Amino acid sequence: MEGSAIGGALLEQLAGVGFGGGSGVQHSAGLTLATTHHGELKALKYEHPGGIFENAAVEFDEVALAPTYRLLWGVPGRSRALQIAERFGLEAEVVADARAALGERRVTLEVGSGAGRQLPGRRAAHFDAQ
């Protein structure tokens, strides 16, 4: 939780919408790109109106368990760590324990967000890996 709080405060400062730590000084860095698996940071898009923040994800082939390198603009991405761990042979008991640790307390934008597919009206860009 502390990591996402620091990340959120930093991104808000860079965007010029942060609290300024009580100093009243606003900073703005212009365009900033950040990657994260923290749902709280993905939610910044919805907490600040006016397009200050945006989400994007790299499309993921669920069958091949590999990225397609197609950028899905407006879609928050999600981790596939447990699926990939299973694919690479991590003990089933370890993966099951990890899933249990996530449990119901895990609240992110990943569930029901349409992550992994392009939403209507969203732009997609394709980047080929060289």
For the chain, the domains span 55-126
**116 band by pLDDT with thresholds 50, 70 and 90:** very low
Quote the pLDDT of residue 96: 93
Q: Return the bridge partners of 124, or none.
A: 72
**25 band by pLDDT with thresholds 50, 70 and 90:** low
Helix (H, G, I), strand (E, B) or coil at 70: strand
Q: Return the bridge partners of 58, or none.
A: 71
Residue-wise pLDDT tens digits, 58-104: 999 988 888 999 999 998 988 888 989 999 999 999 999 999 998 74
Instruction: Flag the least confident range among 30-34, 59-63, 79-83, 106-110.
Output: 106-110
Percent helix, strand and coil across the chain, each rounded to 5?
35, 15, 55
Q: How far, in Å, CA of 58 to CA of 70, rounded?
A: 6
**22 band by pLDDT with thresholds 50, 70 and 90:** low
* Confidence (pTM): 0.62
Q: How far, in Å, CA of 9 to CA of 31, rounded?
A: 16
